[in-house]
Amino acid sequence: MIALHKSKLLEAAASLLYPSVCTVCGGSIRAGVYLCNQCEAKAVRILPPFCQKCSEPFEGSITSAFTCANCAHRTIHFDAAVAAYRGRGIVREIIHEFKYGRQMHLRHLVARWLRAALNDDRLRDLHFDVIVPVPLHPARQRERGFNQASLLAELLSAQTSSPARPFLERIRYTTTQTALDRSERMENLHNAFRLRKNADVRGLRVLLIDDVLTTGSTLSECARVLKRAGARAVHAATAARA
Ligand SMILES: [Zn+2]
Ligand SMILES: [Zn+2]
């Protein structure tokens, strides 16, 4: 009886926080979720085979662990970057709405996708001393009103025992990376980040957080700064991979 009563209360509480229809199609949904089953099914998980280092999916049948050509030909500073979903279709739309449409409530849905990345074999058994969001340049953050990675890091922190700390800052306002190829991205990002004053990461196992992984250049550059400052390990998790 008590349990039933409690679940009713939770349901009532959830209905205050969640919309009563599917965010995408307006169809009916269960309490406590944002998407109906049909829309949720359109979010595509990244499944093996994929690059052990950067999670780039590989179309084909490889059963052994492998690293993609892009990771083999450059220095990657993170230990592994795990993306949970393909960043296309519904996942792309939701993340776009969250970031650029100021639909901040969608952070809960994106954070749930991000949490799926933590279930990956490469991260599941690890303990992280600190969760660090990839920073935005202050000018861009002002323009957007928030840093999506910080919101996700805070939600993740609330559900794990690891504190979220904004240990990095972005000191170069880089042009959008979209039109750049891999080596241009690396060049564009060089010295774009630094450790915040008074941040001490010596000996820490860090989990870097961002919404989307594209080539991994941003995460790698952040990991480089953290490791140079003494971080013992730097793994990364994102909700999607572009
Ligand atoms: Zn729907
Ligand atoms: Zn790779």
SS (H, E, C) 85-130: EECCHHHHHHHHHHHHCCCHHHHHHHHHHHHHHHCCCCCCCCCCCE
Q: Residue 66 C-alpha to ligand 2 middle, in angstroms?
A: 9
Distances (CA, A) of 58 to 70, 119, 143: 12, 20, 37
Residue 112 has pLDDT above 90, yes or no: yes
Terminal Cα distance for the chain, rounded: 47
* Band of residue 2 on the pLDDT scale cut at 50, 70, 90: very low
Which pLDDT value is given to residue 72? 87
Closest CA to 79 of 223, 211, 238, 239: 223
Q: Residue 90 C-alpha to ligand 1 middle, in angstroms?
A: 10
More confident residue, 1 or 176: 176
Q: Residue 71 C-alpha to ligand 2 middle, in angstroms?
A: 4
Q: What is the number of the ligand closest to the CA of 28?
A: 1
CATH topology of domain 43-241: Rossmann fold (3.40.50)
Q: Residue 108 C-alpha to ligand 1 middle, in angstroms?
A: 16
> How large is the average pLDDT for residues 86-108?
93
Residue 197 has pLDDT above 50, yes or no: yes
More confident residue, 32 or 242: 242
Q: Which residues lie near ion ligand 1 (Cβ < 5 Å)?
A: 22, 24-25, 27, 36, 39
**pTM above threshold 0.85:** yes
Q: Residue 171 C-alpha to ligand 2 middle, in angstroms?
A: 27
**Range(s) within the chain of domains with CATH label 3.40.50:** 43-241
Q: Residue 80 C-alpha to ligand 2 middle, in angstroms?
A: 9
Report DSSP state, residue 44. Answer: P
> How large is the average pLDDT for residues 46-51?
90
> How large is the average pLDDT for residues 182-206?
88
pLDDT in tens, 120-160: 999 999 999 999 999 999 999 999 999 999 999 999 999 99
